[in-house]
A and B are shown apart, each in its own frame.
Chain A
């Protein structure tokens, strides 16, 4: 069985333990969803998987493609095929969206990941970029603008999905990808994620609400509460959470 496997993970941020002994098996070919209230450690989990320097794993391991990735820098994790869609993507003035992605693709090609799947040159890349931007309903001018600078909340999220399509990762973590999106955009994003379903592609959706899960049907749903997984189930768990809220999980710890 292939996937992303988290074993007895403890994570601290600035001396405070946020994740306390987390175990998760996220299989490839499936869509997983983690739900939880604010401060439950969902975003921390996304950051520690991708290698944020502030988020320190003090115990445990994260296995992907047979390797414990915790010692790897973020670029090496990206080279293995991991991708995080940020909840709050950063604005970088002076680097256009297309230039940034093209440089990232060149870096990934150097690391020999998916070499044959990436465009051979900048012209091919531009063609692919235009095509995928069109699928997401992204204006062509948008790709020539500075990365995330002056983008609305919704544009930033669509830009993250566009990056995902172009960088061709194998396992993606999408953190609150639906926040800031209007209902039509949620449907487009959800359709895009669903269209990527394949045995070689895994997804972890991090969300507060059931809304996006109405359009992306998760195979597994986990509830995270105070840094631990307190319940897991199918889509019906998301519906239950929507009705009851998270307080009922207080006694599960």
Chain B
């Protein structure tokens, strides 16, 4: 077990403190941003107005924060590519005023690492970047976000999973942060594997994007998301599987339950580049709507430029299956308990291979909520 809070470059600390001061002068995130859907861009502009930054955001700016990372030529090239491909201002902000994070190079062959990551909150606006590079290694990563408060947070994760490496990620988000954004870029090398389980609860505004670049032959990616949203929660899930090599496998399955007036957007994409063969891709988004005021917007997409492959996509949304609840109640379970048991099984069946630790956390949360 290794524990890392952050790797900081001392020369940057003073400058960072100044940035924190300026960030703290901004209005609270919840006061300033009433129109939730405009946040990402406006937020950036707001910060830009209040904090002196250069016109152009370049990866080199990150050197002051992640010297080890930018000495790694391959990882550096990837960062440049991300910024170029995505043209994403929020991502650029990470390299102008990062508030935390680390770079971890796990290249000890045949070694397993376990890492538990919980966030620190240095200011009300923060941008944290975590970079992992693996070569012939296994990483078991658990990410917990359970903080509450009026924060604006964007977390950028970059995984370079090189040949014969495996990463298992379990992410549990049960926070009450005003605005929470997570972006994952994962690059899978030859014969590498990614297993990624995510559970989202409670957060009022959460946007989670995963871009999985399947770049090595024989590599596999398996993404499973579950969510339960209530009140006025807005949740956006984007899972892009980008196939760039033959003989690869990618699956993504998001499944969840919507209560009250909550909204969930699911964007699932499988993109297969030209001249590839023996690709297996699967995209699915399922939701149970327990309120007629809840909204589920699923957008499953396939962009297929090759012929020799098997790609499927599906979307299902349905109300609570009253017949099944009746069946369960007829054996002695109160309606509320039957619904709770059904919800639990509906969600957990999507992450059956996840750890007991994650399942227990989910069960505890589900037991704590009110079922109407």
Contact = CB atoms under 8 A, between A and B. Distances in A.
A94 B349 contact: yes
Contacts of B324: 90, 92
Interface string A1-21: 000000000000000000000
Contacts of B323: 90
B332 A50 contact: no
Nearest to A50: B330
B332 A75 contact: yes
A192 B321 CA distance: 32
A151 B20 CA distance: 60
B328 A100 contact: yes
10 contacts: A50-B330, A51-B326, A74-B330, A75-B332, A83-B330, A90-B323, A93-B349, A94-B347, A107-B331, A107-B332
A107 B338 CA distance: 10
A111 interface: yes
B347 to A, nearest CB: 8
The number of chain A residues touching the other chain, given as a range, is 20 to 34
B247 interface: no
A125 interface: no
Most A CB atoms within 10 A — which of B324, B332, B337, B341?
A: B332
B283 to A, nearest CB: 20
B327 A86 contact: yes
Interface string A156-179: 000000010001000000000000
Interface string A119-141: 00000000000000000000000
A78 interface: yes
A121 B324 CA distance: 27
B330 A51 contact: yes
A83 B324 CA distance: 15
Contacts of A73: 329, 334-335
Contact of A104 (B331, B342, B345, B347): B331
A84 B337 CA distance: 19
Interface string B309-353: 000000000000111101111111111011001101111110010
Contacts of A107: 331-334, 337
A178 to B, nearest CB: 20
Interface in A75-117: 75, 77-79, 83-84, 86, 89-90, 92-95, 100-101, 103-105, 107-108, 111
Interface size class of B (residues with CB under 8 A): 20 to 34
B332 A111 contact: yes
Contact of A95 (B332, B334, B341): B341
Contacts of A146: 349
A100 B331 contact: yes
A75 B327 CA distance: 10
A83 B332 CA distance: 9
Contact of B322 (A51, A53, A84, A93): A53
A92 B342 contact: yes
Contacts of B335: 73-75
Nearest to B334: A75
A52 interface: yes
A244 B329 CA distance: 39
Closest 10 CB pairs of A and B: A94-B345, A94-B349, A104-B331, A74-B329, A78-B332, A107-B332, A108-B332, A95-B345, A90-B327, A74-B330
Given A92-B324, A107-B334, A107-B337, A75 B329 contact: yes
Contacts of A51: 326, 329-330
A233 B43 CA distance: 80
A103 B323 CA distance: 19
Contacts of B344: 94
A94 B346 contact: yes
B346 A84 contact: no
Nearest to B326: A52
Contacts of B331: 78, 83, 100-101, 104, 107, 163, 167
Given A53-B322, A100-B331, A107-B331, 19 more contacts: A52-B326, A73-B329, A74-B330, A75-B333, A75-B334, A78-B329, A78-B330, A83-B331, A86-B327, A89-B327, A90-B327, A92-B342, A92-B345, A95-B341, A95-B345, A103-B333, A103-B337, A104-B331, A104-B333
